[in-house]
């Protein structure tokens, strides 16, 4: 990623593996040899039919085909989604994340066939419907229009309506998201919830500076400073832009616990709690 960043050769997720290397005959032949040694040593054969390879756009198509044949796997443009997350986010964010709306729609359609009380609908929305996009929201910045669509689907389900049969919503969804002590039902405001989840990623960068992700992002975007002082940088990834989107939320609640005072900026950092 950058000269200062740690080199990543592989990533292991459960029973899947990502291997990174140079687009050359020598590199691919070495990978093939390593996998063959592993197969003979462990008696576990790699399923090449379920494996694929992705190349940079700078690699010539003929070279891609040659290297893919050496590896014995198919060449694809991207790996699609893994663990519910798109591995590559292009320009059309609405299209890429539209599967979240589709998943929620299918859930709500199956629930509409059941006779449910308002309390039952409330539990299903809180425990299932609003949890579906949570994992994606903790990693990526989602389009604002998508949140409005998800809110509308949940509101239609709660009030018993559908696209073809609209019923009166006796209370706005914003007021339904208030706590019960404030007159609402405690539903999540998904936009505010996603900002808090992304802010948590920023908090991890601050509290776990030795993790692999922290070292990669630091080397790429703020090699000589702190995450709180970093800027967007040149050609930022969508992950980095997502984390930066929620940094103001993190900064609004940060206070320094004073140690030796060597790294605190006295005039700018919040190191004295506000007296109420």
Instruction: State the DSSP string of 63-80.
Output: HHHHHHHHHTSEE-S---
Task: Provide the pLDDT for residue 187.
Answer: 92
pLDDT for 276 beyond 60:
no
pLDDT for 35 beyond 80:
yes
Q: Compute CA distances 54 → 19, 51, 67, 220, whole Å.
A: 11, 10, 11, 22
Give percent above pLDDT 70 in the chain: 96
pLDDT for 275 beyond 60:
no
Q: Which residue has the tokens 């509290």?
A: 207
Q: Show the tokens assigned to 137.
A: 């929201």
CA 273 centroid distance within chain? 33
Question: Do 118 and 158 touch, CB atoms closer than 8 A?
Answer: yes
- Mean pLDDT, residues 172-176: 88
Tell me how far apart the 2 most distant CA atoms of the chain are, in Å: 68
Q: Compute CA distances 125 → 69, 84, 153, 187, 270, whole Å.
A: 48, 20, 10, 8, 38
- Give the range among 77-81, 138-142, 152-156 with minimum mean pLDDT: 77-81
Per residue in 115-135, pLDDT (tens digit) is 888 888 999 999 989 888 888
Q: Show the tokens assigned to 270.
A: 């919040």
Average pLDDT of the chain?
A: 86
Q: To the nearest 5 percent, what fractions of the chain are helix, strand and coil? A: 50, 5, 45
Domain residue ranges in the chain: 10-77, 85-276
Q: Which residues contact 188 (CB under 8 A, 6 or more apart)?
A: 126, 130, 177
**End-to-end Cα spacing for the chain:** 46
- Burial of 174 by CB count in 10 Å (0-12 exposed, 13-18 middle, 19+ buried)? exposed
Read off the pLDDT band of 163 (50, 70, 90): low
Q: Which residues contact 167 (CB under 8 A, 6 or more apart)?
A: 156, 159, 160, 161
Per residue in 45-95, pLDDT (tens digit) is 888 888 889 998 889 989 999 999 999 999 888 777 777 788 778 778 888
Q: Which residue has the tokens 């050359």?
A: 24
Task: Provide the pLDDT for residue 30.
Answer: 93
- Give the range among 46-55, 141-150, 255-264 with minimum mean pLDDT: 255-264
Give percent above pLDDT 90 in the chain: 25
Q: Which of 132, 261, 140, 126 is nearest to 198 (CA)?
A: 140
- Give the range among 10-14, 147-151, 239-243 with minimum mean pLDDT: 10-14
pTM, full prediction: 0.78
Per residue in 181-239, pLDDT (tens digit) is 998 889 999 888 989 999 999 999 999 999 999 999 999 999 888 898 888 888 888 88
Does 13 or 40 have the greater pLDDT score? 40
Handedness of CA 69, 7, 85, 236 (dihedral sign): negative
pLDDT for 21 beyond 70:
yes
């Amino acid at each position: 990623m950058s000269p200062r960043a740690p080199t990543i050769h592989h990533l292991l997720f459960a029973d899947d593996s990502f291997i990174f290397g140079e687009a050359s005959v020598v590199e691919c032949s070495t990978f093939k040899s390593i996998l063959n040694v592993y197969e003979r040593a462990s008696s576990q054969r790699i399923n090449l039919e379920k494996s694929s390879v992705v190349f940079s756009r700078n690699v010539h198509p003929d070279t891609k085909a040659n290297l893919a044949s050496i590896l014995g796997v198919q060449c694809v443009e991207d790996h699609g989604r893994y663990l519910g997350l798109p591995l590559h986010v292009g320009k059309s964010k609405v299209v890429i994340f539209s599967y979240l709306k589709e998943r929620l729609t299918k859930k709500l359609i199956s629930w509409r066939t059941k006779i449910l009380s308002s309390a039952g609908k409330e539990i299903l929305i809180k425990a299932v419907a609003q949890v579906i996009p949570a994992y994606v929201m903790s990693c990526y910045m989602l389009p604002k229009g998508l949140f409005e669509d998800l809110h509308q689907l949940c509101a239609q389900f709660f009030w018993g309506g559908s696209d073809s049969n609209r019923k009166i919503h006796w209370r706005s969804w914003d007021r339904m998201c208030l706590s019960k002590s404030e007159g609402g039902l405690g539903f999540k405001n998904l936009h505010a919830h996603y900002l808090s989840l992304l802010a948590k990623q920023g908090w991890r960068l601050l509290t776990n500076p030795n993790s692999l992700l922290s070292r990669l992002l630091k080397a790429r975007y703020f090699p000589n400073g702190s995450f709180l002082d970093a800027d967007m940088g040149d050609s930022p990834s969508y992950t980095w832009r997502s984390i930066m989107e929620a940094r103001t939320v993190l900064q609004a609640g940060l206070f320094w616990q004073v140690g030796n005072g060597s790294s605190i900026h006295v005039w700018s950092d919040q190191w004295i709690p506000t007296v109420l």
